[in-house]
Chains A and B, each alone.
Chain A
């Protein structure tokens, strides 16, 4: 019998077939190819005694044909049946939020503005990542973002539409966190996001996260500006710790900013924020495992938390023909991640109702270690910290003014021309 995290990792690696007994049309969120690089599957929740685990399970890729796991609906409840071990696991299929089908005042279906990824609202604010442009695109090889803008969502997001969707997601789905992503925007990603972040803070009241390709060191003031807008979190997706893999599979990032820019930006931002406020995002299952473990060590030593995606050979990507990773290796990575976070004192699971379905959250991986005395003491510590952290989060979840000036970029440019 697998524990919840083991099952989560198995499902990420092997995917899930859908039995005819399932009624996902009525019961599930639609499987939308959002702009998040590795997401394309079915949102599921595995029930567990320590916590429930959210995951976005591969269901579309060809490797799923070989999986022993099958989703079934039995007497109104969903379960995952393991054909190899003849085991059943209780799962929940999160329902599609009602607001997905509502329209904003400007007539845009809300699900084309933002979608839930786990329990948070994910919004990709503008045109596709610029690595996709040109006759020979420099896109990250695992990603299909540029091929999907306009296919499943509108390309340009108006601030009022984003606010309206965030309000609906907060009110109807209990969302506490809005994550913004831009892809590469020629160094203008942060500037592009600033008015959205400010609007969410002032008109909605949510925690906000930002994911942009890093700016050069002499532009680090832009991160300060984003903190003034109310940014609560920065994530830096450098994907591969091994520089050769970084260069090979992320040609755009290699050509425009280089791996070092990710490290410098992560260190700069984390240095200004509470421990665990920033994340380094990596993909496990492509580069040698030791490189992934080294990445986890680096990220946690900086004081950030590692977000580790299990590689998925997404349909339509350049890496579509790559194999899905081996379960044993991914299990080892996730156990290592949890232990590294504990060793470095990175808080886990403090933020209210933020469950990321595209990764194994550090907090999810606690199922992978023995529940000895030190585990129990750590659990107790996190519980106390969570109560303290709620004091800050409660304020952030109310609309409030922020000092940031969205004109600062223009002013800096004007000043530099004088």
Chain B
């Protein structure tokens, strides 16, 4: 895991604690989840194992201020030269019930690990993208 501290430091303490807890919990899972720190935020993907290459789906966690975290679900282009991102939706997470926020993040993770299987799609995951998604 690369160090996501810069992204976390932008967040308000309560939200920072929740996201930190979630990211920390990834290391305790049986699946391999790669976490990459980017300029735009923190990106998760299913990591490669002995039998399986790394997954194509991604979750980009980013924020536009201290009070909100967005989780953008997408598949990157499989063409090396393409900048395209194939969106599966956006989850918007605010401060509030910490267990609820963690629950949403876990559901999102489950969706990622399922290779974005439609039946695993979280209810909280909106299809409409009404914010600009940052790029590195």
Beta-carbon contact of A60 and B85 below 8 Å: no
Min distance, Cβ B5 to any Cβ of chain A, angstroms: 26
In the complex, whether A33 has a CB less than 8 A from a CB of chain B is yes
In the complex, whether A137 has a CB less than 8 A from a CB of chain B is yes
| Partner of B128 from A42, A59, A60, A147 at Cβ < 8 Å | A147
Contact with B along A125-143 (1 / 0, CB 8 A): 0011000110001010000
Min distance, Cβ A336 to any Cβ of chain B, angstroms: 33
Min distance, Cβ B112 to any Cβ of chain A, angstroms: 14
In the complex, whether B75 has a CB less than 8 A from a CB of chain A is yes
Q: Which of B38-88 contact A (CB under 8 A)?
A: 72, 74-75, 77-88
With contact pairs A24-B79, A28-B81, A59-B79 given, residues A315 and B128 touching in the complex (Cβ less than 8 Å): no
| Partner of A18 from B79, B89, B129, B132 at Cβ < 8 Å | B79
Beta-carbon contact of B129 and A151 below 8 Å: yes
With contact pairs A33-B85, A316-B86, A316-B88 given, residues A150 and B80 touching in the complex (Cβ less than 8 Å): no
In the complex, whether A144 has a CB less than 8 A from a CB of chain B is yes
State in angstroms the CA–CA spacing of A149 and B133 once bound together: 9
Beta-carbon contact of A40 and B79 below 8 Å: no
In the complex, whether A302 has a CB less than 8 A from a CB of chain B is no
**CB neighbours of B84 from chain A (8 A):** 30-33, 40, 60, 152
**CB neighbours of B130 from chain A (8 A):** 127-128, 149-150, 155
Contact with A along B104-136 (1 / 0, CB 8 A): 000000000000001000000001111111000
Min distance, Cβ B116 to any Cβ of chain A, angstroms: 8
Beta-carbon contact of B81 and A316 below 8 Å: no
Beta-carbon contact of A128 and B81 below 8 Å: no
Beta-carbon contact of A132 and B81 below 8 Å: no
Q: Which of A7-37 contact B (CB under 8 A)?
A: 18, 24-25, 28, 30-33
Beta-carbon contact of B78 and A60 below 8 Å: yes
**CB neighbours of A28 from chain B (8 A):** 81
Min distance, Cβ B36 to any Cβ of chain A, angstroms: 19
Beta-carbon contact of B79 and A32 below 8 Å: no
Min distance, Cβ B71 to any Cβ of chain A, angstroms: 14
Give the residue name and chain of the A residue nearest to B116 (CB).
A316
State in angstroms the CA–CA spacing of A316 and B77 once bound together: 12
Beta-carbon contact of B88 and A150 below 8 Å: no
Beta-carbon contact of B77 and A128 below 8 Å: no
With contact pairs A127-B130, A128-B130, A132-B128 given, residues A147 and B88 touching in the complex (Cβ less than 8 Å): yes
Give the residue name and chain of the A residue nearest to B88 (CB).
A316
Min distance, Cβ B51 to any Cβ of chain A, angstroms: 19
State in angstroms the CA–CA spacing of A28 and B72 once bound together: 27
Beta-carbon contact of A31 and B82 below 8 Å: yes
State in angstroms the CA–CA spacing of A42 and B77 once bound together: 12
In the complex, whether A114 has a CB less than 8 A from a CB of chain B is no
In the complex, whether A192 has a CB less than 8 A from a CB of chain B is no
Beta-carbon contact of B129 and A30 below 8 Å: no
**CB neighbours of B131 from chain A (8 A):** 150
**CB neighbours of B74 from chain A (8 A):** 151, 316
Give the residue name and chain of the A residue nearest to B86 (CB).
A315
| Partner of B129 from A25, A150, A315, A321 at Cβ < 8 Å | A150
Beta-carbon contact of B79 and A31 below 8 Å: yes
Beta-carbon contact of B88 and A133 below 8 Å: no
Please list 27 pairs of residues, one from A and one from B, whose beta carbons are closer than 8 Å in the complex, sorted by A's number: A18-B79, A25-B81, A30-B81, A31-B77, A31-B81, A32-B83, A33-B87, A40-B84, A60-B77, A60-B79, A60-B82, A127-B130, A132-B127, A137-B128, A144-B86, A146-B128, A147-B128, A149-B129, A150-B129, A150-B132, A151-B74, A151-B85, A152-B84, A152-B85, A315-B86, A316-B87, A318-B118
Task: Give chain B's interface residues, CB within 8 Å of chain A.
Answer: 72, 74-75, 77-89, 118, 127-133
7 more contacts with CB within 8 A, not counting A30-B83, A137-B128, are A33-B85, A40-B86, A60-B84, A150-B130, A151-B87, A316-B74, A316-B88
A-B pairs, top 5 by smallest CB distance, nearest first, are A25-B81, A147-B87, A315-B86, A31-B82, A132-B128
